[in-house]
């Protein structure tokens, strides 16, 4: 959305040609690198977002350049697109999008100003949570879920008719973007909690907390989008989805060993691991297994997200997880495990 709107309004405001405007997105997410290349996110040949850097990559670049934040004079972000309200900030937490929607819907439906903007009903550490909010006498049932395994559990409940919701918020990463695969590696147990708290605290320190109060959003609607769901709003802010899984089932067998004590190897090809070259790793692994005559001794399968995206590419050999996996690491662990199960290796 930022990219498509920036390319629509900034050329005129900045006096640059549209084709000369370059949008670089700093993201918590490696999946955005793939997303930026989707044909739906382009105006003809021009991409909405030209480059995506993860927060991890940006931090590394800042360190490499020797920039010390304590020596910098604070500056505000460039306008108009640098202006933000708390509703935007909390998007990074699981439950944040729902809360931002409620801050808008409450005023729209009830026709009164919201005095307290915090909706504790949608805030919690639980990965699947349900909330019921009353909007002008109508009960709205909401579900908030983070992590793809939990999403599947929730979807199954909905499909079976066990649950029904009016609004469902899904965040692929556990806890939301604060736990995204592009974020700095999490070493401490409470890091995610602190990041979540950091976003809610940041919301408190801002002057405005609702998207509809952002003067630049108001101006954007007045001058360009006209109203929610207008043709222009659809063109710039909406997209469509289709199944893009590299594998259709949760697992795809690549080598199916026949030994009774065969070793299971699972390689994640979910988007984040794929971006970190897990597909190449599978190719190298297959080559190694064939070259060493181990085809009967192992089962190799490609799996969907293991929910450890930040550590990718991820591989499981038996019960051992290998994060930030390289071909050398796989071979090391594989040979160690094969010795343990005493499978004769050619
Ligand atoms: S929840 Fe994860 S996958 Fe989804 S946008 Fe945030 S970082 Fe990316
Ligand atoms: S994509 Fe999530 S663990 Fe591989």
CATH of the domain at 294: 3.40.30.10
DSSP SS3 for 140: strand
Quick check: CB of 275 below 6 Å from ligand 2?
no
Residue 167 lies in a domain: yes
Encode pLDDT of 205-251 as tens digits: 999 999 999 999 999 999 999 999 999 999 999 998 887 776 666 67
End position of a domain, from candidates 73, 94, 116: 73
The angle at the Cα of 322, spanning 318 to 324, to the nearest 5 degrees, equals: 160
> In the predicted model, what is the mean pLDDT of residues 247-272?
81
Write 120-126 long-range contacts (CB < 8 A, 24+).
122/95, 122/98, 122/169, 123/93, 123/95, 123/99, 123/200, 124/95, 125/193
Report which ligand 1 atom has the smallest distance to the Cα of 183: 7
CA distance 94 to 324: 25
Summarised one tens digit per residue, pLDDT across range 5-45 is: 999 999 999 999 999 999 999 999 998 998 999 999 998 88
Q: Does residue 78 sit within a domain?
A: no
Instruction: Give 54 Cα–ligand 1 centroid separation in angstroms.
Output: 11
Q: What is the pTM of this model?
A: 0.82
Of 13, 43, 73, the one marking the end of a domain is 73
CA dist 341 and 224 (Å) reads 66
Tell me, yes or no, whether 98 lies in a domain.
yes
CA of 30 to the centre of ligand 2 (A): 10
Residue 343 has pLDDT above 70, yes or no: no
Kind and range of the H or E element at 182?
none
Q: Same structural domain for residues 54 and 93?
A: no
Residues β-bridged to residue 253: 301
The yes-or-no verdict on residue 344 having pLDDT over 60 is no
Question: 68-122: per-residue pLDDT in tens?
Answer: 999 999 998 999 999 999 999 999 999 999 999 999 999 999 999 998 999 999 9
322 inside domain: yes
Instruction: Quickly list H helices, the chain.
Output: 2-14, 31-35, 55-64, 86-89, 96-110, 148-159, 191-205, 215-220, 231-237, 271-275, 278-291, 327-340
* CATH code assigned at 62: 3.40.50.1780
- CB 325, CB 276: distance < 8 Å: no
Residue 313 lies in a domain: yes
Q: Are residues 154 and 109 in the same domain?
A: yes
DSSP state of 189: T
Same domain, 198 and 260: no
Integer Cα distance of 164 and 161 in angstroms: 7
What residues have CB less than 8 Å from 301, skipping those under 6 apart?
251, 252, 253, 254, 264, 265, 266, 267
What domain range is 265 assigned to?
Answer: 251-340
Q: Per the domain annotation, does 50 fall within a domain? A: yes
Ligand nearest to the CA of residue 169, numbered in listed order: 1
Distances (CA, A) of 140 to 90, 132, 134, 294, 328: 21, 6, 6, 56, 52
Q: Which of 213, 238, 273 is the last residue of a domain?
A: 213
**Mutation to probe ligand 2, out of 29, 174, 306 (largest number of atoms < 8 A from CB):** 306
On whether residue 238 sits in a domain, the answer given is no
Number of domains in the chain: 3
pLDDT at 248 (0 to 100): 66
């Amino acid at each position: 959305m930022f990219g498509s709107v920036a390319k629509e309004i900034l050329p005129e405001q900045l006096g640059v040609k549209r084709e000369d405007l370059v949008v670089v997105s700093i993201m918590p997410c490696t999946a955005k690198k793939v997303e930026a290349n989707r044909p739906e996110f382009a105006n003809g040949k021009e991409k909405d977002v030209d480059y995506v850097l993860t927060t991890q990559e940006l931090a590394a670049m800042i360190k490499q350049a020797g920039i010390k934040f304590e020596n910098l004079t604070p500056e505000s972000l460039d306008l108009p697109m640098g202006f933000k309200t708390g509703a935007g900030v909390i998007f990074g937490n699981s439950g944040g999008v729902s809360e931002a929607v409620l801050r808008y819907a409450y005023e729209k439906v009830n026709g009164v100003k919201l005095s307290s903007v915090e909706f504790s009903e949608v805030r919690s550490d639980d990965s699947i949570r349900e909330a019921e909010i009353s909007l002008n006498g109508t009960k709205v049932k909401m579900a908030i879920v983070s992590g793809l395994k939990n999403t599947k559990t929730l979807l199954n409940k909905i499909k079976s008719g066990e649950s029904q919701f009016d609004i469902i918020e899904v965040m692929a990463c556990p806890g939301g973007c604060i736990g995204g695969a592009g974020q700095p590696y999490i070493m401490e147990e409470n890091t995610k909690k602190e990041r979540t708290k950091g976003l809610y605290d940041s919301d408190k320190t801002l002057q405005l907390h609702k998207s509809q109060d952002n003067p630049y959003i108001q101006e954007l609607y007045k001058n360009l989008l006209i109203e929610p769901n207008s043709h222009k709003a659809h063109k710039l802010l909406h997209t469509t989805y289709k199944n893009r899984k590299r594998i259709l089932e949760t697992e795809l067998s690549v080598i199916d060993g026949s030994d009774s004590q065969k070793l299971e190897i699972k390689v994640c090809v979910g988007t984040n691991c794929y971006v970190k070259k897990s597909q190449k790793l599978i190719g190298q692994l297959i080559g190694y297994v064939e070259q060493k005559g181990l085809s009967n001794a192992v089962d190799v399968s490609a799996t969907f997200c293991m929910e450890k995206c930040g550590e990718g590419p991820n591989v499981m050999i038996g019960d051992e997880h290998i994060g930030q996996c390289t071909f050398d690491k796989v071979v090391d662990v594989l040979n160690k495990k094969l010795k343990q199960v005493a499978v004769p290796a050619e």
